[in-house]
Amino acid sequence: VSDALAWLTAASAEREHDGLHRELAPRHGGPDPMLDVASNDYLGLARHPHVVSAAAAASRVYGAGATGSRLVSGSTDLHARLEDALALFTGAESALVFSSGYLANVGAVTTLSGPGTLIISDSSSHASLIDACRLSRARVVVLSVHELGALDAVLAGRDEERALVVTDAVTSVDGQSAPLLELHQIARRRGAALLVDEAHGLGVMREGAGACPPEIRGEPDLVRTVTLSKSLGSQGGSVVGSAAVRNHLIDTARTFIFDTALSPPAAAAALAALQLIAPSRVASVRRAARQLAALLDLEPTDGAIVRVPVGDHHRAVAMRDTCAALGVRVGCFRPPAVHADEACLRLTVRADLTDVEIRRAARVVRTAQRVHA
Ligand SMILES: Cc1ncc(COP(=O)(O)O)c(C=O)c1O
């Protein structure tokens, strides 16, 4: 009998040959021997004593796991408090917590669309939004949300009654901001809803509440998703929006109904982190990002992400490895995270990076650029 999965060996060899093989590099506990400019812990809260002790205390009080889905045994008063705090902080009427940002995106997009709906998705949307669009069974048009005229024309010319515009607030690869006010105006005029993924906006943009301008945050046709795993240093995700959206998700979102609830320690950590978001921390992240971009002669960046264009993904991997050998952990994006020949190093800053660390990161990246010119 032949092994039905024997083809995996050939597929793996092909990925290896194409430079698309991936390896895990486990971190050990304790102080990080590397200078980290690859993580999404933008506010440096993942190890903050208040956040860590909130998680430990919650695990003693509620247990390590949630024990069931939200609609069965998994909802605790911690989840309710976290949802209230997230809604208040982001200026929305309500929030609903999922066990990851990925699942929040899939839940929101699939339940707010469906067959007979048009979705316009930004060409730089995160993989979770792309997968959500695929699962939605809606007609999906992909375009850049910066092409406002084209977006307006597609919305105006649609046959579908319902439409949803989907975008990251700040794109995960290059940290570029979407024109959210204009998008909301166009969507409203054309009877479409707007769904904005604030994964890289929360804790970083404006005063920390995300990139959405305050004047539209409470609008009923705006839905935002956030992750608890980046600025909040925890794990999990949430949809924030109107109470009507929340009710709809509770009744219909498969990634909410058929998934074990966010664990109590993660909920408590996110809740503690929310209380620690302060304007000074937010300003520090953006200052660090601008400083790093300037040292690398790159355009100023909107949020915490500094993209170093490389092109060829073999070269990007070699540069990443050189940075690691010199003690600096950088992100490396290659297909399928980016298009072919658009590989890049992705540097992410944290509020607690010092000037000396930022200069060292820039020096090491420049060395890698020279070595692999
Ligand atoms: C833009 C964006 N949306 C959603 C996610 C998914 O969030 P989570 O890691 O909480 O699943 C991520 C990152 O992982 C992201 O970068």
Give residue-wise pLDDT tens across range 281-323: 999 999 999 999 999 999 988 899 999 999 999 999 999 999 9
pLDDT at 340: 87
- Using the mean position of ligand 1's atoms as its centre, give its distance from the Cα of residue 103 in Å: 9
- Cβ of residue 126 lying under 6 Å from some atom of ligand 1: yes
Shortest-distance Cα residue to atom 9 of ligand 1: 101
- Cβ of residue 227 lying under 6 Å from some atom of ligand 1: yes
Rounded CA-CA distance 298/128 in Å is 28
Shortest-distance Cα residue to atom 15 of ligand 1: 199
- Using the mean position of ligand 1's atoms as its centre, give its distance from the Cα of residue 199 in Å: 6
- Using the mean position of ligand 1's atoms as its centre, give its distance from the Cα of residue 227 in Å: 6
- Cβ of residue 102 lying under 6 Å from some atom of ligand 1: yes
- Shortest-distance atom of ligand 1 to CA 170: 1
- Shortest-distance atom of ligand 1 to CA 229: 10
Maximum CA pair distance of the chain?
65
Give the count of beta carbons closer than 10 Å to the beta carbon of residue 301. Answer: 22
Contacts of 243 (CB under 8 A, 6+ apart): 93, 94
Pocket test for ligand 1, best of 176, 223, 227 (most atoms within 8 A of CB): 227
pLDDT at 59: 98
- Shortest-distance atom of ligand 1 to CA 105: 4
Helix, strand, coil percentages for the chain (3-state, nearest 5)? 45, 20, 40
- Cβ of residue 237 lying under 6 Å from some atom of ligand 1: yes
- Cβ of residue 113 lying under 6 Å from some atom of ligand 1: no
Rounded CA-CA distance 137/310 in Å is 35
Q: Residue 67: which region, alpha, beta or left (left: phi > 0; alpha: psi -120 to 50)?
A: left
pLDDT at 2: 84
- Using the mean position of ligand 1's atoms as its centre, give its distance from the Cα of residue 192 in Å: 24
- Using the mean position of ligand 1's atoms as its centre, give its distance from the Cα of residue 105 in Å: 9
pLDDT at 158: 98
Rounded CA-CA distance 42/39 in Å is 8
pLDDT at 362: 98
pLDDT at 336: 87
Instruction: For strands 117-122 and 162-168, give the pairing.
Output: parallel
Rounded CA-CA distance 303/309 in Å is 17
**Which residue is it, tokens 């058929």?**
258
Rounded CA-CA distance 315/146 in Å is 30
Nearest to 306 by CA among 38, 34, 45: 38
Nearest to 328 by CA among 304, 359, 361: 361
CB 204 within 8 A of CB 304: yes
Rounded CA-CA distance 159/146 in Å is 23
The pLDDT of residue 1 is above 80: no
- Cβ of residue 232 lying under 6 Å from some atom of ligand 1: no
- Cβ of residue 168 lying under 6 Å from some atom of ligand 1: yes
Residues 102-155 have pLDDT tens digits of 999 999 999 999 999 999 999 999 999 999 999 999 999 999 999 999 999 999
Find the mean pLDDT for residues 322-334: 96
- Cβ of residue 175 lying under 6 Å from some atom of ligand 1: no
